[in-house]
Amino acid sequence: MGGAALRSRAPAAEEGSTGAAAPRKLAPGLYVVATPIGNLGDLSPRALETLAAADAVVCEDSRITGALLHRFGLDKPLVVYNDHSAPRVRPQLIARLAQGAALALVSDAGTPAISDPGYRLVKEAHEAGIPVRCVPGPSAPIAALSIAGLPTDRFLFAGFLPPRREARRRELAALGAIPVTLVLLERGSRLPELLADAAELLGPRTAVVARELTKIHEEVRRGTLADLAAVYRTGPPPRGEIVVLLGPPERDAQEASEAAIDAALLEAAARLPPGRAAREVAAATGRKAEELYRRLQRLRAERTEG
Ligand code: SAM
């Protein structure tokens, strides 16, 4: 029991200290700390301990993280690290870490670096020989996947698809040809269009819209893509934060997957020479480029004949 408790703590600089007194001193390094996606009760004891003990907290937005820390009675130096400030701030953070600082990286909500700032900082910390440790916890895409009732043995997280409709349809067609559960993020205002396009391009599949997870207005809708598209077609767009999950083509709906490949091929061939179109779809789907090239020629011949 005691051993497990000790292991569950952030690594301590002072080995041998049983550390009853908080905050414990942290070993130097970058700590990637997950924070709640809505319900503050989801901040783990170890996350709290790490935030309390870090020399500074690196965050996307000082107001949001300041409010979270305040809620837990912490007052820490904050360093703002977002898309705007990252190029300027990152070398300073790496220099501090190299000098032995213990820095906690958080995002506005959920797990840093997952569709949030952090990837380059983590990468450069590794490259500089700085220890990088995780303090895992909530993450909206994984939370949604865990309750979706869709296959989880293989899934693909694609974040936000492009906002422009044409580019989004292109990506949907390419992603839809891969036989895995797709996990997407979307704004309420674009959800109806995303579902309508997915229903048209990907054919019959089970899908889930997970909205405002862990919050008061949490809502999980599960059904066929066509049914969900119909639910959101009318009325005001849904509010709040949303994860959309698209199940893989069902075994007896293999035809739909083949139709998605045809759609992706024809779409790519409208922009690119046939060889490059086949290679692009091959890269996205794991199919062989030569096979797709022949298929494209056949499709075009059928269209000419038809
Ligand atoms: N790094 C974060 C994580 O691990 O949860 C994800 C960051 S991403 C920029 C934020 C998006 O995640 C939101 O726009 C929304 O699509 C989704 N999201 C965040 N919180 C959510 C919640 N409570 N319920 C449903 N979706 C959520």
Distance 115 CA to ligand 1 centre (A): 8
Distance 134 CA to ligand 1 centre (A): 19
Specify the ligand 1 atom closest to the Cα of 159.
8
Q: What is the pLDDT of residues 237-288, one digit of tens each?
A: 999 999 999 999 876 556 656 777 888 899 899 999 999 999 888 877 768 8
- The reported pLDDT for the residue numbered 252 is 56
Is domain 5-138 in CATH 3.40.190.10, yes or no?
A: no
> Which residues are near ligand 1 (CB < 6 Å)?
37-38, 107, 109-111, 114-116, 139-140, 185, 210-215, 241-243
Distance 306 CA to ligand 1 centre (A): 46
- The reported pLDDT for the residue numbered 172 is 95
Q: What percent of the chain has pLDDT over 70?
A: 90
d(CA 263, CA 123): 37
d(CA 57, CA 31): 9
CB atoms within 10 A of CB 266: 16
Assess whether pLDDT exceeds 50 at residue 71. yes
Region 201-228: mean pLDDT is 96
d(CA 303, CA 114): 42
Residues in the chain: 306
Specify the ligand 1 atom closest to the Cα of 113.
1
pLDDT band at 219 (very low <50, low <70, confident <90, very high): very high
Distance 267 CA to ligand 1 centre (A): 30
Of 3-12, 122-131, 219-228, 263-272, minimum mean pLDDT range: 3-12
- Of 161, 162, 232, nearest to 195 by C-alpha is 232
Q: What percent of the chain has pLDDT over 90?
A: 77
**Candidate of 107, 216, 243 to mutate for ligand 1, largest count of ligand atoms within 8 Å of Cβ:** 243
CB atoms within 10 A of CB 76: 19
Specify the ligand 1 atom closest to the Cα of 243.
26
**Candidate of 59, 83, 107, 115 to mutate for ligand 1, largest count of ligand atoms within 8 Å of Cβ:** 115
**Candidate of 145, 218, 241, 244 to mutate for ligand 1, largest count of ligand atoms within 8 Å of Cβ:** 241
- The reported pLDDT for the residue numbered 17 is 37
* CATH classification code of 141-249: 3.30.950.10
- The reported pLDDT for the residue numbered 89 is 98
DSSP per-residue letters across 207-237: EEEEESTTSTT-EEEEEEHHHHHHHHHSSSP
- The reported pLDDT for the residue numbered 28 is 98
Between residues 283 and 220, the one the model is more confident about: 220
Q: What is the pLDDT of residues 286-305, one digit of tens each?
A: 688 999 999 999 998 888 77
